[in-house]
């Protein structure tokens, strides 16, 4: 999904939960919007380019042209089952993590559904273990 969609969903959730949690609701924004920074991390490593604008256009072009080979088996670290489990575990101990989860789930679930509809198959890695296993099998 586009950053604008994520931003709108986060803003609505912050408005709903602000009267209960106050300024802690910034964690909804972190979990529901800022986690896409992992796309930028991957872009910087792979393309050796620090420009956020070029990065945005790169992903936009990948989606418009449906060039899934560009992002096949890519690891977006905050969009993995391991990261989700870590946050779920953490949410038992701190309300900050719980609020992060309130933003995170409405981000990653539509992300996965959107990607499945767009590519008609699983393209990126949703698991660190799966990613490493695929890397290992390519090397050996």
Which residue number, 34 or 95, has a Cβ lying nearer to Zn ion?
Answer: 34
Instruction: DSSP letter for 74, please.
Output: -
Residue with CB nearest Zn ion?
A: 111
Q: Is 111 in the site for Zn ion (CB under 5 A)?
A: yes
**CA 71 to mean position of chain CA atoms:** 14
Q: Is 36 in the site for Zn ion (CB under 5 A)?
A: yes
Shortest spacing between CB 112 and Zn ion, in angstroms: 9
Which residue number, 14 or 111, has a Cβ lying nearer to Zn ion?
Answer: 111
Burial of 68 (0-12, 13-18, 19+ CB in 10 A): middle
Shortest spacing between CB 20 and Zn ion, in angstroms: 25
CB atoms within 10 A of CB 8: 12
List the structure tokens of 109: 């679930």
Binding positions for Zn ion, rule: CB under 5 A: 36, 111
């Amino acid at each position: 999904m586009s950053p604008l969609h994520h931003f709108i969903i986060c803003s609505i959730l912050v408005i709903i939960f602000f009267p209960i949690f106050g300024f802690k609701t910034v964690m909804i924004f972190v979990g529901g919007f800022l986690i896409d920074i992992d796309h930028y991390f991957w872009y910087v490593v792979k393309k050796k380019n620090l420009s956020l604008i070029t990065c945005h256009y790169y992903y936009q072009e990948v989606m418009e042209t449906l060039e899934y080979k560009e992002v096949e088996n890519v690891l977006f670290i905050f969009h993995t089952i391991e990261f989700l489990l870590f946050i779920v575990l953490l949410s038992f101990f701190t309300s900050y993590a719980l609020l992060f989860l309130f933003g995170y789930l409405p981000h990653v679930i539509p992300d996965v559904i959107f990607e499945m509809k767009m590519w008609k198959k699983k393209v990126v890695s949703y698991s660190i273990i799966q990613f490493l296993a695929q890397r290992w099998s390519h090397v050996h």
